[in-house]
Chain A
Amino acid sequence: MRNSLHILRYVEGDSVIHRMNPRAKVLALVLLLLVVSFDASWISVGLLWFLVIGGSMLARLPRQVAPRPPRILIVMMVATITLALLAGGEPYGLGGAILQTRLFAFTLGLLGLSLLVGWTTPTADLPVAAAWLLTPLRWLHVPVDDVVAGLALATRALPLVAEEFTTVISLSRFRPQRLTGPLSHGMDLAATATTATVRRGLEMGEAIEARGGTPTAKQIAHSPGVPDAWGMNELALLGAVAAIIALTLMT
Chain B
Amino acid sequence: MTALVLDNVRVDHAAGTPWETCGLQNVNLQLEAGERVLVVGGNGSGKSTLASVMAGLILPTEGTCTLDGIPIEEQAAQVTLVIQHTRLQLMRPTVREELEDLADHTTVITPAVNRLGLNGLLHRRIDELSGGQQRRVGLAGALVRKTPLILLDEPMAGLDRESRHQLVHALEELPHDSIVVVVTHDLPASRPILHQGLRGRLLHIDNGRVRESVDR
Seen from chain A, the residues whose Cβ lies within 8 Å of a Cβ on chain B are 1-2, 4, 6, 9, 11-12, 61-62, 64-65, 164, 167-168, 170-176, 179-180, 188-189, 191-192, 195-196, 199
Which chain B residue lies CB-closest to A180? B101
> Which one of B25-33, B75-83, B192-200 is at the A interface?
B75-83
CA distance A61 to B13 in the complex (A): 19
Total number of B residues with any Cβ neighbor in A under 8 Å: 27
Q: Give per-residue flags for B41-61: 1 if the beta carbon is below 8 A from chain A beta carbons, else 0.
A: 000000000001001011100
Contacts of A171 in B (CB 8 A): 57, 81, 83, 88-89
Contact A62 B59 (CB under 8 A): no
Query: What's the A-B contact tally at a CB cutoff of 8 Å?
Result: 67
Contact A192 B58 (CB under 8 A): no
Which chain A residue lies CB-closest to B15? A64
Contact A2 B101 (CB under 8 A): no
CA distance A238 to B59 in the complex (A): 44
Contact B14 A2 (CB under 8 A): no
Contact B91 A191 (CB under 8 A): yes
Known: A4-B14, A192-B91. 5 other contacts (CB 8 A): A6-B14, A64-B16, A174-B79, A192-B88, A196-B85
Seen from chain B, the residues whose Cβ lies within 8 Å of a Cβ on chain A are 13-14, 16-19, 52, 55, 57-59, 76, 79-81, 83, 85, 87-92, 101-102, 104, 127
CA distance A168 to B83 in the complex (A): 11
Contact A62 B18 (CB under 8 A): yes
Contacts of B52 in A (CB 8 A): 1
A12-B18, A179-B101, A195-B127 known; A188 and B81 CB under 8 Å?
A: no
Contact B87 A199 (CB under 8 A): yes
Can you report 5 A-B residue pairs in the complex whose CB atoms are below 8 A from each other?
A: A4-B13, A6-B19, A164-B88, A171-B83, A188-B91
